[in-house]
Amino acid sequence: MWQLSAISYRHIQDPASQRLTWNKPPKSVLVIKKIRDATLLQPFKELCIFLTEVKNMIVYVEKKVLEDPAISGDENFGAITKKFCTFREDLDDISNRVDFIICLGGDGTLLYASSLFQESVPPVMAFHLGSLGFLTPFKFDTYQSQVTQIIEGNAAIVLRSRLKVRVLKENWEKKARVDEKGIILTNGDIENSRKVVQYQVLNEVVVDRGPSSYLSNVDLFLDGHLITTVQGDGVIVSTPTGSTAYAVAAGASMIHPNVPAIMITPICPHSLSFRPIVVPAGVELKIMLSRDARNTAWVSFDGRKRQEICHGDSITITTSCFPVPSICFRDPVNDWFESLAQCLHWNVRKKQNYLSSEDEEF
C-alpha cells in the first residue's frame, strides 16, 4: 500500500511538496509494454529480469504481451516468464494485487494503464521509450537506480485527475437507420431499452461528426442547464492532463495537472466567437444530440472505445474520485515545464540581439 504525504507551510499547498511514501515495502509490480514493438523487447527483458532476480518482486504482465513470438520463442527468457503473473484486459481484475506500475513506451502506454483500473490506480512510473513522451519523464538508461529509488519510497508525485464518463444508450437494441449521406431515418419499429456504460478517462472525451459531411450539432449542458449548442466538427472535454493533447491542437490553453478543472474545446466551430473555456472540476456536464441534428455523432474515450451517439443518447461527464498518481522525475512543476520545452517546443524563438548605446542613436 502507498500513501500521499505533503509538507505544507502555507494555506495554499505547493504541488512540489506532494510525495509518495510506502506503508510497507512494495512486493508486486505491473509492467506494461507496447504490444509488438521490437525496439522495446530488450528493455522489457532487462527490466523484468532486474525486478524478479534482483528485487525479488512479483511481476504482472498482460497475457498478450507474452504471446509475442519474439518473447515466447526466446528460450533464455522463458525461465523468467514462468515466474510472471498474467492477466487479460476486461476479464481479470488486478486492482488489489499490484503495488505500482511501470510503463515502457510512449504516452499511450500510460493512457492504457489508466484504462485498466476503473477505481483506485497504483502509482505509475513511465519510461520514455515512445515518440512524444510528454507523460513519460523517466529515461531508461539508468532504470536500475531509478526503480530502486521508487521502491525505497519518498518520490515526488502528481495526481492526474480523470473524468468519470457515463454513456446512456436509448433504444440500443435497434437503432434508427442512417443513410449513406449520414441523414437519420427514423421510420421503423424501435424497442424501448437502455444500456449504460461507464469509463474512466485520463486525457479527453471527444465527440465528433464521424463519417458524415454535415456539421455536428450537439447540446452542451452544465449542471442541468443548457449553456450552448456546438455546431462544428465536434467538441473535446479534457482533463488538465489532456489539455496538452488533442485540445491544444484545437486551440486550447495548457493547464497544469494540479489545477482542478475541466477544459471544453470546440473542434473547428462554425462561429468566430466560440472559444475554449475552463470550468470547475466539480460540475456535471452532459452532451446530447440536438433535436434538429441532421446526423448522428461519434464519441471516443482517450482515443478508444469509439461508438455512435444517436438521438436520445447522452454522455454525462464529471471529475472522477480516482486520479492517476504519476511518479515524477523531479517534481510536478519542473517535469511539466520540461515536457513543454522538450516535447512541444513551447515559446522557442531566436533571441533578440543586444542593443548597444551606439545603436540607440540610430
Confidence (pLDDT) at 166: 97
Q: According to CATH, where is 3.40.50.10330 located in the chain?
A: 19-161+323-344
What digits encode the pLDDT tens for the residues 337-361?
A: 999 999 999 999 888 888 777 666 6
143 pLDDT above the threshold of 90: yes
Q: What percent of the chain has pLDDT over 90?
A: 71
Q: According to CATH, where is 2.60.200.30 located in the chain?
A: 163-171+195-319
Instruction: Look at residue 346 and give its three-state secondary structure.
Output: coil
If you write DSSP's letter for every residue of 117-151 in order, what string do you get?
Answer: -SS----EEEEE-SSS-TT--B-GGGHHHHHHHHH
The pLDDT confidence band at residue 222, using thresholds 50, 70 and 90, is very high
What b/e string do you get for 257-274 counting C-beta neighbours within 10 Å, with b at 16 or more? bbeebbbbbbbebeeeeb
Residues paired with residue 285 on neighbouring β-strands, in sequence order: 222, 317
Q: What percent of the chain has pLDDT over 70?
A: 89
What digits encode the pLDDT tens for the residues 49-99?
A: 999 999 999 999 999 999 888 888 888 898 898 999 999 887 888 988 999
24 pLDDT above the threshold of 80: yes
How far apart (Å, rounded) are the C-alpha atoms in residues 90 and 111?
15
Mean pLDDT of all residues in 214-231: 96
Give the architecture (CATH level 2) of 19-161+323-344.
3-Layer(aba) Sandwich (3.40)
Of 67, 123, 105, 240, nearest to 114 (Cα)? 123
Q: What is the largest CA-CA distance in the chain?
A: 85
Helices (H), 171-296: 246-249
Please, are residues 221 and 285 in contact by the beta-carbon 8 Å criterion?
yes
Distances (CA, A) of 96 to 44, 90, 119: 23, 15, 10
- Strand 85-87 and strand 18-22: the pairing is unpaired
Please, are residues 135 and 39 in contact by the beta-carbon 8 Å criterion?
no
Residues annotated catalytic, as ranges: 107
Confidence (pLDDT) at 130: 82
Given the candidates 3.30.420.300, 3.40.50.2300, 3.30.470.10, 2.60.200.30, the CATH classification of the domain at 163-171+195-319 is 2.60.200.30
What digits encode the pLDDT tens for the residues 296-332?
A: 999 999 999 999 999 999 999 999 999 999 999 999 9
DSSP H or E stretch at residue 105: strand 100-105
Confidence (pLDDT) at 76: 84
Q: pTM of the full predicted structure?
A: 0.87
Distance of CA 333 to the CA centre of its chain: 19
